[in-house]
Structure 1
């Protein structure tokens, strides 16, 4: 009798055995439909020897119902799923679910109705129809897609269908994407770029695992360099995955990719429509999607012939998932490349300390691009001491920075102001009674967003309109905004430079790749004089006319006692400074700070990155912190505070007593209430040689908690709130 073991997407059940009906063919990795009680569930056939399960007599096995029409998950992807579940102390099912992230794609091909112009043009047209006719020439798509292209409503296009101006066409919803041409527009590389590119190309052609750290200053042409390795993989008929940290960067990258290879790559991120995700997933699985550019979840797509992985801006903390499976896409990318036997490129101007240490140890090969491309020079950096150059009362820009902004405006050049704080003000209080507006679901202040007229929690999404009177004392017109956010800085710029055209760039304004593309087009067309933005503007953008960068509050990231605070501050400020002077004109950076003697500020001012990293490395070594030691967090939460506290104490009371393992806590988390759940944390510090995951499993597995308690493990944590 033919029996198989299936990984089903229910972590509480574990693997289940089924009978394979006569005539049905399955293999490890096959995606199947199986019965579970009265329900039907999706599962993946797995090697029985790799998944221990309770032995069930053959006679009691129920038969599989169907093999879904998708290629089996390949062995390298199954090994990656196993590694992630083991390393991040989570269930196999929760990781495997990320590989089958489009349920529509599993059910097979289908058709979709699209529309195109018929060539019929009535004698009289409304202005909207005339506009649609002009913009839709040669275009084909769904009503929704064509409406976005034409800038008209769906109703206008449906009227054009009824009038015979547009006709319906039935197309395959999973039609192949156009193939990129590796020789479309080959760049003229510098000697340094060519040397680095040659090494990566050789690894691609050898089909071997080799991790590279592409360490190049901002503006050095890292994208053009690793694009040669992409071209080599395409020429071999293999697939490429490029990971980007932010959706907002996607459109800018797509334009550069299309200019190089003739067609845009396939995209994968959370803003895709269901039909787009289905098409992309199936084309990846069948090997037809040649280059995929995506967010961290693209790592688990079922590539048929993967030949190269690139992680751009590899230092970015947004590659770390903070809920669900708490994985770091940078590290998982390296492991996927290992299992697939392909090269992986980590590209960054400010690499993570862990990546530099891996290069130092010889685990990664470091490729250095030390100078900007095309003769552009790095910007001059000046520190503005806010203790000596105080802004006027109620303002946040020091006189030196204001003068520099005025100078650039007179010269017709662009400026950028960076403050990593969304909204207008981080805190609103009553000047009469001192009442502070706090989120009812989280232990966090509500942030005022004056553009949308709301008070919002940035942790759970709670929103409320600003009240006319204080809810505590009833006094009217008494609410005061405390501290600056980017909206407040934009208002200050508008008051100082009323003639300047100001763009506000945050995740609240760039809510889609299309809006990001619109911002980039305006900046490139010199329709913007001053950009005011959060960390979204610190990476990926290239504006030749941008010659001034002002960092409004360089000290903000140093607060809170985070292990990586200094490193993150250095990376953010260095990245945003790198936006200046990328063209022919020299750039200047002004860093506002109240702590000019802080090591990170001195390193930024002197441009001595190596000295900063050396000092940071020694501090980590002494603290037995990553990359020299291991950290993990255990987060306990419940809607009942006593329940969460008792569970955390039970975990703390059974903590292992091991020489190389230090357990701190439990203690209330800094964000002790989040989305209506009370939170406690324990922090584990261990030597690098310790089998930390095994220690945690043996510690937690015997414990039982109340039904409302959640216990999450975060290996290599980045967030300490």
Structure 2
């Protein structure tokens, strides 16, 4: 059965006739072979970038006519004909080069990367024509009811309008429209294609910028106007106006007639960012994230490909949309690990955004109050420009940050909030101001154990404890999703009533806050309670409208919110995240806590941040108290440089997994024995991954560490080629890992 939206070929190839032209076609499948050659039948025109329908096995698939020369040694008998060409804008040469580059860098199958660029197959089909009404030829009769007269008056000569729109304009019911059609006064006609998205209004005045903001905005506008590649790091304390500055660059991009892409780490939670955009440009931007329905995705994908979308705001996958003329990419909160995709094609959207900008000759702006050490190193080496906004915009000053030593001021027995923090919250609420409690841990308790035998409730599929969610009366694994009811007896010793929650989760903080501040109006901001854009917008509105006194949340509350009435932030466990052997543990903890602290005192009232810690002398705590981010990052760099750790060296992780533990061990051992041995290269492992069991698969990890000048991709390709592994074993390669689970 033919697919809609494509032109069928009329193959007339006869046996013995000279070979027809052929072209490589890349299919959106994780096939190691890459593109396959197909024959172009007579009467069909196919060029690189065309979306084509081709046979594969017993089915038809949509792929992309690819670049490169077909294999001249491939027998004509093995070729199959292209079945048709889709009526869609071809994939640009820039995007095809980007797909190939990402595949090569991440050691992924090109078809797996192509699948991300073809994320809305329905967008390849032309939008269906919509029916409307126009006045019948010959002019109206002399006698008309007032309603019918108004309908015809609402139609200009030759104009086509949709039935509901026409009825509303004339002030009549839909039945009047149907009656006029039956009487021959209206005839059906196709509506002209309309714009899927309203264009931004560049004539609207932007916000009044301060001198430092204005200078930074002018520099970004000049870079965009050059219509050439350039990377700029835009830094500044929280509340310094970084968003307003880069929106000025977006406006310049639109004046240049090019498209702009803004990547946000949590687009579904960015209600306040979208409100700022509306104030600046008078319209909503196009959106791209996982919460969109299939029809919206198809409409947006097509509008991007046709150049109709001028500004798109999206999550990391938006980087693979088919922009025909991308002039600016903004990566907001560039340090966020949410930009790293850990499944399928493993890539970092921040780094790949720089590559896409280079291929498109576009400007790219990386934005952060606490940029990553990798980005700072690129600034220091001269590869990136740097603009800084050192002060908060307007009357707001920086919040006072204090490390609250839990050894000196411990919580009461069975509680988790220090009396010092409790008293500060009471005084804040008494002044009519808002307070926030932050704990980056979902659920009620991270561990449940038996008081009688010590048994710990763990996930059967993962090396992880089950987290208690008391409101739902269940234990849940946050890695694989396994959930089970809280058992009435210990599954190990059968003792009744001995299972005890250990440690606090955000639900337990809510329970304690309810007891301590019974009159405070509370809201919980966690992924369990804020599932998407609508819930995030409602929560933000409630807080801004002062319908909430106490905000309690996980890392969601750190995502760029602006709450003018919030003056106190309490961090329940500032040490959380510092434990373990993660290379970037201290850097990430600093970045997260700095973001959380930045929610306090963003208006006239001064802000205060109290961080509960057992280690107030830790460099992270000292950097936050002193607001000396630069000194901390300099010390962090000094610690990594001698050992050639990133960003002063290269890392690549190979994670071997199998449902059979012994098979995983054998495969990892064989890879370890075949590990490359070269100057400036070291292979660590194999060893069990920190999550040695994940979703029922046993995992072993090898880590390749190399000098900065070593090309790790070619080393890994040769390494993997030396070892034959069973099909039941998977090897996931992560070049430049940011996590080590």
Alignment TM-score, normalising by the size of structure 1: 0.91
Q: Distance in 1 between matches of 2:361 and 2:419?
A: 56
Q: Secondary structure at the match of 1:683?
A: strand
How much has 1:469 moved relative to structure 2?
A: 2.1
Matched, 1:98 2:116: yes
CA, structure 1 residues 708+60, in 2 after alignment: closer, same or farther (shift >3 Å)? closer
- Is residue 68–residue 108 contact of structure 1 (8 Å, CA) maintained in 2? no
How much has 1:171 moved relative to structure 2?
A: 8.1
Q: Residue 56 of structure 1 aligns with which residue? A: 74
How much has 1:161 moved relative to structure 2?
A: 11
- Is residue 424–residue 487 contact of structure 1 (8 Å, CA) maintained in 2? yes
* Deviation per residue, 1:574-624 (Å, 9 max, x gap): 111011000111100111111111111111111111110110010110221
Q: Residue 526 of structure 1 aligns with which residue? A: 546
Q: Distance in 1 between matches of 2:131 and 2:507?
A: 43
- Is residue 195–residue 308 contact of structure 2 (8 Å, CA) maintained in 1? no
Q: Secondary structure at the match of 1:474?
A: coil
Q: Residue 80 of structure 1 aligns with which residue? A: 98
Matched, 1:416 2:436: yes
Match of 1:639 among 631, 652, 659: 659
Q: Distance in 2 between matches of 1:663 and 1:72?
A: 43
Matched, 1:606 2:626: yes
How much has 1:669 moved relative to structure 2?
A: 0.8
Q: Residue 160 of structure 2 aligns with which residue? A: none
Matched, 1:710 2:730: yes
* Deviation per residue, 1:365-405 (Å, 9 max, x gap): 00000000012100011110011110001111111111110
How much has 1:104 moved relative to structure 2?
A: 1.1
Match of 2:585 among 555, 561, 565: 565
Q: Residue 481 of structure 1 aligns with which residue? A: 501
Match of 1:4 among 23, 29, 36: 23
Q: Distance in 2 between matches of 1:713 and 1:264?
A: 38
Q: Distance in 2 between matches of 1:322 and 1:423?
A: 23
CA, structure 1 residues 518+161, in 2 after alignment: closer, same or farther (shift >3 Å)? farther
Matched, 1:275 2:292: no
Q: Secondary structure at the match of 1:371?
A: coil
* Deviation per residue, 1:255-290 (Å, 9 max, x gap): 111111000100000010000100110000000011
Q: Residue 470 of structure 1 aligns with which residue? A: 490
Matched, 1:352 2:363: no
* Deviation per residue, 1:416-464 (Å, 9 max, x gap): 1111111110011122222211111111010011122221100001111
Q: Distance in 1 between matches of 2:604 and 2:34?
A: 61
Q: Residue 220 of structure 1 aligns with which residue? A: 240
Most deviating of 9-18 and 438-447: 9-18
Q: Secondary structure at the match of 1:373?
A: coil
Q: Distance in 2 between matches of 1:78 and 1:293?
A: 22
Q: Distance in 1 between matches of 2:691 and 2:509?
A: 27
How much has 1:113 moved relative to structure 2?
A: 10
- Is residue 269–residue 532 contact of structure 2 (8 Å, CA) maintained in 1? no
Q: Residue 590 of structure 1 aligns with which residue? A: 610
* Deviation per residue, 1:528-561 (Å, 9 max, x gap): 1111111111121000110011111111110111
CA, structure 1 residues 290+478, in 2 after alignment: closer, same or farther (shift >3 Å)? same
- After superposing on structure 2, the runs of 4+ consecutive aligned residues of structure 1 that deviate more than 4 Å are 111-114, 169-175
Match of 2:520 among 491, 497, 500: 500
CA, structure 1 residues 14+72, in 2 after alignment: closer, same or farther (shift >3 Å)? same
Q: Secondary structure at the match of 1:673?
A: strand
How much has 1:17 moved relative to structure 2?
A: 0.7
Q: Distance in 2 between matches of 1:703 and 1:108?
A: 47
Q: Secondary structure at the match of 2:302?
A: helix
Q: Residue 322 of structure 2 aligns with which residue? A: 302
- Is residue 28–residue 118 contact of structure 2 (8 Å, CA) maintained in 1? no
Matched, 1:66 2:93: no
Q: Residue 181 of structure 2 aligns with which residue? A: none
Q: Distance in 2 between matches of 1:505 and 1:482?
A: 22
Equivalent positions of 1:145-164 (< 5 A) are none
CA, structure 1 residues 421+92, in 2 after alignment: closer, same or farther (shift >3 Å)? same
Match of 2:54 among 34, 38, 50: 34
How much has 1:35 moved relative to structure 2?
A: 1.0
Matched, 1:406 2:426: yes
- Could you tell me which runs of 5 or more consecutive residues in structure 2 were left unpaired when the two chains were aligned: 1-19, 133-163, 166-172, 178-188
How much has 1:175 moved relative to structure 2?
A: 4.7
- Is residue 16–residue 53 contact of structure 1 (8 Å, CA) maintained in 2? no
Q: Distance in 1 between matches of 2:428 and 2:193?
A: 50
Q: Secondary structure at the match of 2:341?
A: coil
Q: Distance in 2 between matches of 1:517 and 1:393?
A: 37
Matched, 1:692 2:712: yes
Q: Residue 143 of structure 2 aligns with which residue? A: none
Q: Residue 546 of structure 1 aligns with which residue? A: 566
CA, structure 1 residues 541+361, in 2 after alignment: closer, same or farther (shift >3 Å)? same
Matched, 1:196 2:196: no
Q: Residue 153 of structure 1 aligns with which residue? A: none
Q: Secondary structure at the match of 1:374?
A: coil
CA, structure 1 residues 34+409, in 2 after alignment: closer, same or farther (shift >3 Å)? same
Whichever of the two has the greater Rg, that structure is 2
Q: Residue 644 of structure 2 aligns with which residue? A: 624
Cα RMSD after superposing both structures: 2.3
Matched, 1:46 2:66: yes
Q: Distance in 2 between matches of 1:288 and 1:412?
A: 47
- Is residue 3–residue 18 contact of structure 1 (8 Å, CA) maintained in 2? yes
Q: Residue 512 of structure 1 aligns with which residue? A: 532
Q: Residue 281 of structure 2 aligns with which residue? A: 261
Q: Residue 427 of structure 1 aligns with which residue? A: 447
Q: Distance in 2 between matches of 1:55 and 1:549?
A: 69
Matched, 1:537 2:554: no
- Could you tell me which runs of 5 or more consecutive residues in structure 1 were left unpaired when the two chains were aligned: 115-139, 142-159
Equivalent positions of 1:452-467 (< 5 A) are 452-467=472-487
Aligned length in residues: 675
Q: Distance in 1 between matches of 2:689 and 2:718?
A: 24
Q: Residue 128 of structure 2 aligns with which residue? A: 110
Q: Distance in 2 between matches of 1:170 and 1:483?
A: 64
Q: Secondary structure at the match of 1:237?
A: coil
Alignment TM-score, normalising by the size of structure 2: 0.88
How much has 1:199 moved relative to structure 2?
A: 1.1
Q: Distance in 2 between matches of 1:647 and 1:501?
A: 56
